[in-house]
Structure 1
Amino acid sequence: MSEEFTIVQSKKKHRKFGKSAQVKCNRASSPAEFDRDKILKRINYCETELEISEYFQTAIDIIKTAVNNHRISEIICLGIGSISESLTAKYQLAFINLVQRNLNIQSINFFDPLLSAGEQEVLKALKHTVLSENKEGKYIAESPTLFYLPHCPKQLTNNLLFSNWDPKYLANIFLISNSFQRIITKTPERFLRPSANFILEVNPFVSEVEIENSFELNTCFNDTSIHSFTPTKLDTASANLWINPSQPTYIEEDLEIVLNGSKKFKTTDEQLCKVKDEMHFLGQTYLCYLQSARNYKRINDEYKGAGERTVEATAKLPLVNKTKMSQKKEFFNIHNNLTSIPCLLINKNVLIFLRNESWVAGKIVDADGLMNIFMEKVVYCDQKGLQYKLDNYGIRNRQILYIQIPESIDLTSAIKDYLDKLHTPMNKSTKRTFKIKRAQMKNQETVNELKGKQF
């Protein structure tokens, strides 16, 4: 009878990952996932919430006062950000929409290289215009224009001022952006001059009013002011200020969206957008590890020390090499203090306690006036109580805590005898030299002459 097998499959559905799985490298959603109506609904909610807030009521009054009955022809908004993903960008868009309605401005023109195709459709649904050309902020205000640059880099504002560097054009600009005064206060002039020289030059002639941030989301409208250029202040400037302004130049790190060209984001089938470089990075990392390991071994072999000395190696260290200066010091110490005591104990068995809480017992075979001691047949006991038998052991003077003197030694008489030995007169040589012989012969001749004379 044949056996039958039943194939059992799991009811759980496993998600498959492979090369065909689409992973997005860009921040923008694909058209299938982009919900325009949902974003429009969210923006409408932001407008409703913002319109009844105390912050907007204060802000619109300040803006109306700054505009001062000028008929604003259009609004140009730069750097609004991603309105599909950023809550801050949604509130900033809601803010400029409310300003347009309150001031009865005909149109708003937007440009931001980060805007995706879906976000551009949202702006068009709100009856706004999306500019296609990146003018790097160089828009000329031929008629009264409200510029809205929410948290944009100062280089973009600098370009806007450069393109309108004439009193008749500056008088048409009403700019809502980061505070000029704070930019100048927070940044030293030597750093600000290369990247925002037009802000520095025009600051004395600008009328700036801060829009105090009282909104519940602090990051949406912080550090915001409205700037206007009244003819009265502009007329006080020197005429040479407006002649031949230099084209602003920036270093690469300062460009951001001032660059002439937008940042392009694309969807891709590559996982995490780094598969093609992942093995290269892994290989470079491993190569760096191997090179570092080899360099460490080479340096360690060349420069490593011998480590901590053993007890035997310490015992065999030579005593201090004596110079003429040390010999004089030794002679002085022997006659003026008790450093000569180890010299009295030569060929005696003594116990010496050291400063590192260890002790040494053995026979002193040599010592000097500096209290350096050399011993034989030694027992050394370390701090842990472990004992070692050594043939030789040298002790430097700075290691000695105290010396236990045997009771059989009379210290006073021993010191006196030792000093007497040091001062024992040397026996004169009895050998007659030629000089001595000649002197003795002359003396003898003189004596003989004196004896031969009669007095």
Structure 2
Amino acid sequence: MAAAPGGWRAAGGRRRRAGGEAAGAGAVLRRLREARDDLLSSGFWEASAGAVRAPLGSSAEPPAHCVCYGLGRFSVCPAARHQLAFLLLLLEELGEGKHDVEGSATLFYMVHCGKALYNNLLWRNWSAGALAKMVIIGNSFKGIEERLLSRILERDYSYIAKVLKGTEEVALPTHPRYLDTFNDTSIHWFPLQKLKELSPEVWEFMEEPMYQDCDDLEIIRKEDRTDRHSPAATES
């Protein structure tokens, strides 16, 4: 999918093999445009754009890359369609593709992803320099902290726990039409100065999260997939 001055169009690719397939793609694109118009007419995007600009002030480096995790089947799910439409409006707002790619900041769009996915992302980029180049739009870190016992947060999602004091967070505005679509969603960024104020011990521990004792794991680990396909796992 690509943004264009007059709207959105399907990205170029192989020629459609059947008229029905092309018609199906056209229907999805039409629904996506309707979701975009809905966001604009409701005022939700206009209110959200101000929150999005918060980590992108004059002193911040505008993201030139965007990574999207956890988006549902937007062809059949209205909530996922609105989330995708929001992302495309966001890319237009940020002027994607107009910045030098080398060493540029990255936006991670992760609405309603599992806690472990945020934790894994932080672990993979666990340095002040890398985190300072990240913006995460997803479940509120403050909300995660409030809902979990501190011992569970520190044991199972230690990188979220450790980065809290180095995080700036702005919640997306609430809107009655999108209570399920964007509930508990915030923009997170990590100012370098705040990260430098964290204790040196915070950066010394970089062990990969394993979630061995986690009771509410919301992702499928590599070993879980292996177990599911092993002979022992398929025996009746």
Instruction: Give the TM-score range, shorter chain.
Output: 0.7 to 0.9
Pair 1:254–1:260, CA change in 2 (3 A): farther
Matched, 1:62 2:47: no
Q: Are 1:81 and 2:42 counterparts?
A: no
**What is the aligned partner in structure 2 of residue 112 from structure 1?**
none
Does the C-alpha gap of structure 1 residues 93 and 262 become closer, same or farther in structure 2, counting only changes over 3 Å?
farther
* RMSD of aligned alpha carbons: 2.6
**TM alignment of 1:51-450, pairs within 5 A:** 51-69=40-58, 70-106=61-97, 142-251=103-212, 254-260=216-222
3-state SS in 2 of match to 1:41: helix
TM-score (ref. length: structure 1): 0.41
Q: How many Å apart are 1:254 and its aligned residue?
A: 4.4
Partner of 1:128: none
Q: CA deviation at 1:65?
A: 2.0
Alpha-carbon contact 2:136-2:187 (below 8 Å) kept: yes
Query: In the TM superposition, what whole-angstrom CA distance separates every residue of 1:68-102 from its partner, at most 9, and x where no partner exists?
Result: 24221111110001112211000000000000001
Q: 1:175 to 1:258 in 2, by over 3 A?
A: farther
The more displaced of 82-91 and 232-241 is 232-241
CA, structure 1 residues 243+175, in 2 after alignment: closer, same or farther (shift >3 Å)? same
The superposition leaves residues 298-339 of structure 1 with CA deviations (integer Å, 9 ceiling, x where unpaired) of xxxxxxxxxxxxxxxxxxxxxxxxxxxxxxxxxxxxxxxxxx
Residues 98, 256 of structure 1: CA spacing in aligned structure 2 closer, same or farther, 3 A cutoff? same
Identity %: 31
3-state DSSP of counterpart to 1:225: strand
Structure 2 counterpart of 1:149, which letter? M
Post-superposition shift, 1:261? 9.3
- Give the structure with higher Rg (CA): 1
TM superposition shift of 1:48: 1.2
Q: 8 Å contact 2:115–2:218 — kept in the other structure?
A: no
Change (3 A) 1:181 1:215: same
Aligned-residue offset at 1:150? 0.6
Q: Label 1:223 to 1:238 Cα distance change in 2 as closer, same or farther (>3 A).
A: same
Q: What SS is found at the alignment partner of 2:170?
A: strand
Question: Alpha-carbon deviation of 1:215?
Answer: 4.7
Q: Write the deviation string for residues 354-380 of structure 1: whole angstroms up to 9, x where unpaired.
A: xxxxxxxxxxxxxxxxxxxxxxxxxxx
Shift of residue 258 of structure 1?
4.8
Structure 2 gap segments, 5+ residues each: 1-18, 226-235
SS at match of 1:216: helix
Q: 1:216-265: per-residue Cα shift (whole Å, max 9, x none)?
A: 131111111111100121111112211241110124764444534999xx
Inter-CA distance 169–94: structure 2 relative to 1 (3 Å threshold): same
Q: Structure with the greater relative contact order (CA < 8 A, sep ≥ 6): 1 or 2? A: 2
How many residue pairs get aligned? The number is 201
TM-score, length basis structure 2: 0.77
Deviates more, 1:77-86 or 1:67-76: 67-76
Change (3 A) 1:215 1:174: farther
Structure 1 portions without partners, runs of 5+: 1-30, 108-140, 264-279, 281-455
With over 3 angstroms needed to count, the CA separation of the structure-2 counterparts of 1:261 and 1:41, relative to structure 1, is farther
Higher helix share: 2
Residue of structure 2 equivalent to 1:36 = 25
Looking at structure 1, the residues matched to 113 and 103 of structure 2 have their Cα atoms a distance apart, in angstroms, of 23
Paired position in structure 1 for 2:13: none
The amino acid that maps onto 1:217 is: Y
Distance between the aligned counterparts of 2:72 and 2:39, measured in 1? 19
